[in-house]
Amino acid sequence: MGDLETMWNETIDYVFGPQLWTAIGLGAMQIVLILIISFLVIKIGRRLITKFFANRTKGPFKISQRRESTLSKLVANALSYVVYFVAFIMILETFTLEIGALLAGAGVAGLAIGFGAQNLVRDIISGFFIIFEDQFSVGDYIRTSGVEGFVEEVGLRTCKVKAWTGEVHILPNGNVTQVTNYSIHNSIAVVDVSVAYEEDIARAEQALDDLLKELPERYPDMLDEPKLLGVQSLGASDVVMRIIAEVTPMEHWAIARAMRKEVKTRLDAEGIEIPFPRMVMYSREEQEA
């Protein structure tokens, strides 16, 4: 009975004594210090990464704007993951846990989980190929897996594609099997112009040729003078002529809208009619008379 009472008294003295609370205070201070240092390392590291890629035009490491946006985000995220992992290990050490045994157990568990995480491994491998083969980068306009929009982020496991209507699609990299990238090469703006059958086609072509020579000065995104290809088709009530223009990537929609406005204004000024659907009716009584 005396031994039990002695143990109880020693426990009470330890719990309410300064030794335990000093150890807890020192541990809490270490954890806070680890978190502060981790935050500073991530913040400073992100700034250094941004500055490094901003100087891409200097020195031997020259990369395009597309690659800069993609790789800077990827490296910054990788830095965050590494710092978080190291901070987690250091916090565990403050609790006097055996890190070696934990890592060994985690390695065995990770091996077991890996056999059941084949899709995750496939996504990561596909992410490496997407990034290092430069299939697409942040800011590109792509179509893949039934999704079309601007690439917002390219990671090792997923990529984010934002549609022009605002939806953000998150795609596992393993599902990105076929990609159509609209942002790599110059685009072609296509405009079809309808002219009435009663009009002089040669006069209409001359009016359009004069207009097309003026357009590159008004629209810097046009890389060359637009070309009038000629008569594209013969419709039910119109003659369709096609105009094409080489423009900077992803500007073909805006330039096509501007060209339609310019063509409408010029044809109206020249008195050339843009037709509308017509229906011709014949009366049998008039034919019999």
pLDDT of the residue at 7: 57
Q: Which CATH class is domain 187-270?
A: alpha beta
pLDDT of the residue at 33: 84
Condensed to tens digits (0 to 9), the pLDDT of residues 13-41 reads 545 555 555 666 677 788 888 888 888 88
Condensed to tens digits (0 to 9), the pLDDT of residues 40-52 reads 888 888 788 777 7
Taking the alpha carbons at both ends of the chain, their separation in whole angstroms is: 135
Report the CATH architecture of 2-116. Orthogonal Bundle (1.10)
pLDDT of the residue at 190: 92
Q: How far apart are CA 10 and CA 185, in angstroms?
A: 79
The angle at the Cα of 65, spanning 60 to 67, to the nearest 5 degrees, equals 75
Give me the mean pLDDT over the 75-100 stretch: 74
pLDDT band at 258 (very low <50, low <70, confident <90, very high): very high
The answer to whether 191 touches 228, Cβ cutoff 8 Å, is no
Q: Which residue has the higher pLDDT, 71 or 98?
A: 71
Q: Which residue has the higher pLDDT, 276 or 20?
A: 276
3-state secondary structure 159-208: EEEECCCCCEEEEEHHHCCCEEECCCCCEEEEEEEEECCCCCHHHHHHHH
Q: Which residue has the higher pLDDT, 19 or 239?
A: 239
Sequence ranges of the domains in the chain = 2-116, 135-181, 187-270
CATH of domain 135-181: 2.30.30.60
Give me the mean pLDDT over the 189-214 stretch: 90
pLDDT at 288 over 60: no
Give me the mean pLDDT over the 251-258 stretch: 90
State the CB neighbour count (10 A cutoff) for residue 150: 18
